[in-house]
Copies of this chain bind each other. A is one copy, B any other.
Amino acid sequence: MNNSARNSAYTKSYNRKLITGIIHREPVSRAELARKTGLTRAAVSIIVDELISDGFVVEKGVAEAELGRKPVLLDINPESCYALGLNISRDKCSLGIVNLKGELKARKEIDLSSAADAGEALKIISEEIKRMHLETGTAPKKLLGLGISTPGPVDVFSGTIINPPNFDMWKNVNIVGELKKEFPCNILLENNSAALALAEKYYGLGKKFSNFILMVVDTGIGSGIVINDKLYRGFGGFGGEIGHTSINVNGDLCSCGNVGCLEVYASMPAVLKKAKRIEPGISSWNEIVDRAEAGDTRFLEIVEEEARYLSAGIVNVVNILEIEAVVLTGDIFYKHGIIMDSLSRYVNERAMTRKVHRVGLYASEIAKNADIIGAATIVIDDFIRLY
């Protein structure tokens, strides 16, 4: 799509997406759209009229102006269509409906414990999707599509779950292909971290940044990379494995085959191992943070060391990609204030770009229901993203 020739159909589709995306970010007038895009007001009018008659956009009052006729504001009609989001993780499976503004309209946990294999699991999921459609009264014609997110590597082109860690049932399952037989709509699969990055881009901190990474720090360390407002996947869809970049060439072997991986040092199991040497009963990052916050220097040191390790991985990414910001989520999100300052200090002391611009370090702004919203955003992104 991206490297083939241009024609008037492409032009129309591109400009329509461009305008939809700008309105989706925040309400604007036609005149402002013309200024932002470089299109003439006439062209903008034509496209906006179409978007209005398709229901995606609505006129919404007028804005103030110093001089001249007041501009009519255009806004996304959030209820014009819905996206289904399905998040499959190790221990649970969640389904939900999200509108164009990223608001959760319904969610449900699906129990797959009775399913012996992926086929049976897919049957249960299909039933739940149908039920949710009925219960929420979401007409099929208003459906943008279904976004699916899972941990581990996925083949986004074929829609196949490759090899989810500790999660054999879904291994090599072409989940998109299977579900399309039942639901002939736009179905897309992404890695969990990539989906969260998209959610952050459209509905969180990513609004401010065109180039950032979202890091998920829990059992493993995953990431989604956004470059130029687009998800970066690598040429085969397997990029962004920041958890398996090495921060120590002489370090221990990682399960991935590399040595000294960031995950070996900074994932939650790795940190817990250290904490248990101090207090064997400790079983979560939250407990470590609570003790550190209470003033226990032994645990404060663990938090500080976590910051040092994570920042080493982050600086490597920053020096390669020159991103503007890093957004953190996962277990590390808990009382993140305690680690953020150290992280920010380490990164901005060491990144090459520090002379030109700071790298922002933030906690995710959409922690609640991020799993479903992330999955649903995969199809919302497909609707708006430029190509």
Selected from B7, B236, B245, the residue in CB contact (under 8 A) with A357 is B236
A249 at the interface (CB under 8 A from B): yes
- Given known A246-B315, A315-B258, A352-B258, contact A239–B8 (CB-CB < 8 A): no
Residues in A181-214 with C-beta less than 8 Å from chain B: 210-211
The residue that A322 contacts in the complex, of B6, B10, B18, B236, with Cβ under 8 A, is B236
B322 and A249 form a contact (CB under 8 A): no
Cα distance, A315 to B254, chains bound together (Å): 13
Known contacts A11-B11, A14-B6, A228-B235: A319-B353 contact under CB 8 Å: no
Asked if A265 is at the interface of the complex by the 8 Å CB criterion, the answer is: yes
- Taken together as a complex, chains A and B put the C-alpha atoms of A4 and B246 apart, in Å, by 39
A32 shortest CB reach to chain B, Å: 14
Knowing A6-B15, A248-B247, A309-B249 are in contact, say whether A235-B259 is a contact too (CB < 8 A).
no
Interface centre among A18, A238, A316 (most CB of B within 10 A): A316
C-alpha gap A15/B229 in the complex (Å): 24
Known contacts A8-B11, A38-B4, A234-B321; is-contact A245 B316 (Cβ 8 Å): yes
Q: Is the CB of B235 within 8 A of A211?
A: yes
Contact of B319 with A242 in the complex, beta carbons under 8 Å:
yes
Task: Report if A291 contacts B (CB, 8 A).
Answer: no
Chain B residues in 8 Å Cβ range of A65? none
Closest to A239 in B: B322
Q: What does the 1/0 interface line of A86-124 toward B look like (CB < 8 Å)?
A: 000000000000000000000000000000000000000
Contact A18 B5 (CB under 8 A): yes
A323 within 8 A of B: yes
Q: Which residue of B lies closest to A1 (CB)?
A: B38
Assembled-state Cα–Cα distance A309/B246 (Å): 11
Q: Which of B227, B232, B248, B349 has a CB less than 8 Å from the CB of A248? A: B248
CB < 8 Å: which of B256, B259, B265 contacts A352? B256
Q: How far is the CB of A224 from chain B (nearest CB, A)?
A: 12
Write out, one digit per residue, whether chain A residues 343-357 have a CB within 8 A of any chain B CB (1) or not (0): 000000111111011
Q: Which residues of B contact A353 (CB under 8 A)?
A: 234, 236, 238
- Residue-wise, chain A 289-327 has the 8 Å CB interface mask toward B (1 for contact) of 000000000000000000011001001110111111000
A259 contacts B350, CB within 8 Å? yes
In whole angstroms, what is the CA distance A123 to B211 when docked? 40
A234 surroundings in chain B (CB, below 8 A)? 211, 321-323, 353
Task: Check: A386 CB closer than 8 A to any chain B CB.
Answer: yes
A173 to B: closest C-beta gap in Å: 17
| Per-residue interface assignment for chain A, residues 256 to 271, with 1 indicating a CB less than 8 Å from any chain B CB and 0 otherwise | 1111000001000000
Q: A319–B256 Cα gap in the complex (Å)?
A: 11
What is the CA–CA distance of A283 and B245 in the complex, to the nearest angstrom?
Answer: 33
A244-B5 contact, Cβ under 8 Å, with A228-B235, A249-B309, A308-B249: no
The distance in angstroms between the C-alpha atoms of A4 and B18, with both chains bound, is: 8
Residues of B within 8 A of A242 (CB): 319-320
Does A127 lie at the interface of the complex (its beta carbon under 8 Å from any beta carbon of B)?
Answer: no
Given A5-B15, A7-B39, A246-B312, output 4 extra A-B contacts at Cβ < 8 Å: A5-B43, A235-B323, A248-B250, A257-B354
Sampled A-B contacts (6; CB under 8 Å):
A3-B228, A5-B37, A7-B39, A236-B353, A256-B350, A258-B315
What residues of chain A have their CB less than 8 Å away from a CB belonging to chain B?
2-8, 10-11, 14-15, 18, 37-39, 43, 210-211, 225, 227-229, 232-242, 244-250, 256-259, 265, 308-309, 312, 315-317, 319-324, 349-354, 356-357, 386
